[in-house]
Homo-oligomer: A and B are copies of this chain.
Amino acid sequence: MRNLPDRVWRLPRQEDDEAAGEGFGRILALSDGVFAIAMTLLILDIAVPAMTDSDKMPHVLLHLWPRYLAYLLSFLVISRFWVIHRQAFALIARVDPALIWLNLLLLLFIAFLPFPTAVVGAHNGSTAAAVLYAVAVCLTGASSAAYWWYASGRGKLLRPDVPRGQIRAMRARSLSGPVLFALTVPVAAFFPYVAEALWFLAFPLARMSFVLFSGEEPDEAG
């Protein structure tokens, strides 16, 4: 019994690995489910008071524009994480318990995003709302980077034929999101509207950083 602590952390791992021998089916099913639901729940943040006067309806509907923008932004953000998730798991050959829990950590943050989206949509121009949003997406991005760095690094879970250049490019890209959103935290604390504009720029910027890094070894990428 004196070697308990060691076995506590080692044995379940073996047992989990056996059970996981059947592939990713359920991990991807759960992930796709959470992604789809988080995307769709965003719409619940947009609502019109039932009492609204009919004459004021056009004004009320147009006045909701910060919520439409927040819906669009968060839908794009979650879509982007899903596209990356799909690319990453297409390269992963097997799972281990650490990857499963890192993936659940990502889902924890994905499922959380409708809340900051609602806050930003309802309190447009609030610095606290903008900071909350930047921090939430930054943490989501960090957990998205975490599972990829683990799977492609210490976990050694990738298919053997994945070129090193692609791994490195995807690592760089996985960092570009959280770094950019972390940089917007101080911006959001003073100029929430500027931060929101920067968030929409995150998509072309992430793509560009991906190309810059994957382009360093054109021979390996081919």
Q: Which residues of A contact B (CB under 8 A)?
A: 4, 7-8, 11-12, 14-16, 19-22, 25-30, 32-44, 46-48, 50, 52, 54, 57-58, 61, 71-72, 75, 79, 82-83, 86-87, 90-91, 97, 100-101, 104, 107-108, 111-112, 114-115, 118-119, 122-123, 125-129, 132, 166, 169, 207-208, 210-212, 214-215, 221
Residues of B within 8 A of A118 (CB): 47-48
Q: Identify the closest chain B residue to A97 (Cβ).
A: B83
Question: What is the total number of copies of this protein in its complex?
Answer: 4
Q: How far is the CA of A20 from the CA of B86 in the complex (A)?
A: 8
Residues A119 and B48 in contact, CB atoms below 8 Å apart? yes
Q: How far is the CA of A22 from the CA of B57 in the complex (A)?
A: 46
Residues of B within 8 A of A125 (CB): 54
Residues of B within 8 A of A29 (CB): 28-29, 32, 36
